[in-house]
Amino acid sequence: MLSAYAGGTPINRVAEKHSLPVNRLYKLLGRLRSKLKQCVETKLKPS
């Protein structure tokens, strides 16, 4: 999934490469960003 961000490859090509509909890839990336944000916020929270 890094290719969606780091590779400069258009999302439609990334979706095609992984045999996913473009909308599904967008949703999947959104969920990953949300989980990453949650993880970072938890780790940075003062104890």
pLDDT digits (tens, 9 = 90+) for 2-43: 777 787 889 999 999 999 999 999 999 999 999 999 999 999
Positive or negative torsion for Cα 34, 36, 39, 45: negative
Rounded to two decimals, the pTM is 0.76
Q: 4 is written with which tokens? A: 């969606």
Work out how many domains the chain is built from and give that number.
1
Please give the residue range of the domain that contains residue 39.
2-44
Q: Looking at residue 3, what is its pLDDT?
A: 76
- Alpha helices for the chain (secondary structure H): 11-17, 22-44
In the numeric block, which tokens belong to residue 32? Answer: 């990953």
- How far is Cα 27 from Cα 35, in angstroms, rounded to an integer? 12
- Whether residue 1 is predicted with pLDDT greater than 90 in this model: the reply is no
Q: Tell me what pLDDT residue 6 has.
A: 80
The pLDDT score that the predictor gives to residue 25 is: 94
CA distance 41 to 25: 24
Instruction: Band the pLDDT of 47: cuts 50, 70, 90.
Output: confident
